[in-house]
């Protein structure tokens, strides 16, 4: 038999238990209803002799994982003008941004990100991470183990006022050997035919900013890169104190190893 005091004690304990369960349920419901922070926008910048389609495999993976992605056309007219254009795109994006650049695109993001507070991380994929006053061509001279120089051809083009500029292409017959030896032949043949040229000045124009000095940076390096010497890529990554991932890939590791590249970008985004 329970006395009245014992019954009251049991009732009180039950009441406390019910209150605790209700509080737990309330907190759980509040946590579920709490708005999640949106994922940062990933901006992908292609390099020379290419267009934004080189990022297609990476874009597919990032979008499936819920990341908003923009892959603007890089004008390929020179670091200053290309970086100014890219910065104008990034300024229109609300919230945090991850900037990723491939090849020459790395030189562009390294300058464009300077002074943009919403850029939280940089990703260089077989890319130039240049210092202030250091043109891309100087990296090729310092680390000459590449096939790019002898494979280039030039074509003049008209500028306003009667002046002439010079566009640079990779010889289609050497495109696979130099740019993407691990990409299927039919795909690389299409890429060679559709390549977008870069103005010759892009190789000699020195950047005026190096955002990797203040923004956390990640690097993907293809060990079989024949367009930029892997030793040069390692030098730039080490100088930037970057988090580095090496892959057995050509200069087009963003195509042949799109999953790995996407993983690195998502690590930078987190």
- Predicted local confidence at residue 37, as pLDDT: 74
Contacts of 185 (CB under 8 A, 6+ apart): 176
Cα 21 from chain centroid? Answer: 47
Instruction: Give the other-Cβ count within 10 Å of 7's Cβ.
Output: 10
Cβ-contact 141, 203 below 8 angstroms: no
pTM of the model: 0.87
Cβ-contact 205, 82 below 8 angstroms: no
Instruction: Give the other-Cβ count within 10 Å of 210's Cβ.
Output: 21
Residue labelled with tokens 């009441």: 15
- CA dist 19 and 11 (Å) reads 12
Cα 144 from chain centroid? Answer: 25
Cβ-contact 65, 59 below 8 angstroms: no
Cα 228 from chain centroid? Answer: 17
- CA dist 223 and 230 (Å) reads 6
Per-residue pLDDT of the chain (270 residues; tens, 9 = 90+): 445 455 455 544 434 343 443 434 444 444 455 457 789 999 999 999 999 999 999 999 999 999 999 999 999 999 999 999 999 999 999 999 999 999 999 999 999 999 999 999 999 999 999 999 999 999 999 999 999 999 999 999 999 999 999 999 999 999 999 999 999 999 999 999 999 999 999 999 999 999 999 999 999 999 999 999 999 999 999 999 999 999 999 999 999 999 999 999 999 999
- CA dist 140 and 126 (Å) reads 13
Q: Could you give the strand order of the β-sheet that contains 164-170, starting from the edge strand earlier in sequence?
A: 152-158, 164-170, 198-199
* Pairing, β 217-222 against β 119-125: parallel
- Predicted local confidence at residue 3, as pLDDT: 54
DSSP H or E segment with residue 90? helix 79-90
DSSP H or E segment with residue 81? helix 79-90
Domains of the chain from N-terminus onward: 41-269 (3.40.50.1820)
Kindly report the CA angle at 53 between 47 and 55, in degrees rounded to 5?
Answer: 70
Q: How many CA atoms lie within 13 A of 152 on its CB side?
A: 18
């Amino acid at each position: 038999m329970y006395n009245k005091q014992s019954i009251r004690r049991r009732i009180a304990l039950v009441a406390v238990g019910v209150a605790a369960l209700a509080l737990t349920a309330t907190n759980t419901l509040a946590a579920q209803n709490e708005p999640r922070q949106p994922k940062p926008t990933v901006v992908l910048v292609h390099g020379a002799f290419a267009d934004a389609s080189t990022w297609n495999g990476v874009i597919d993976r990032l979008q499936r994982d819920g990341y908003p992605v923009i892959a603007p056309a890089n004008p390929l007219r020179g670091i200053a003008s290309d970086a100014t254009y890219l910065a104008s795109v990034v300024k229109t994006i609300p919230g945090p941004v991850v900037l990723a650049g491939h090849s020459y695109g790395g030189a562009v993001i390294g300058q464009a990100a300077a002074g943009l507070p919403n850029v939280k991380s940089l990703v260089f994929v077989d890319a130039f991470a240049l210092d202030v006053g250091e043109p891309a061509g100087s990296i090729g001279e310092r680390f000459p183990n590449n096939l790019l120089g002898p494979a280039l051809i030039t074509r003049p083009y008209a500028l306003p006022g009667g002046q002439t500029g010079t566009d640079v292409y990779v010889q289609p017959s050497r495109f696979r050997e130099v740019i993407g030896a691990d990409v299927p032949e039919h795909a690389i043949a299409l890429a060679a035919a559709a390549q977008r040229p870069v103005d010759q000045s892009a190789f000699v124009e020195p950047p005026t900013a190096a955002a990797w000095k203040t923004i956390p940076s990640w690097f993907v390096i293809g060990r079989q890169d024949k367009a930029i010497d892997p030793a040069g890529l390692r030098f730039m990554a080490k100088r930037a104190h970057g988090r580095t991932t090496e892959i057995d890939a050509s200069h087009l590791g963003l195509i042949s190893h799109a999953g790995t590249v996407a993983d690195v970008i998502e690590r930078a985004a987190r």
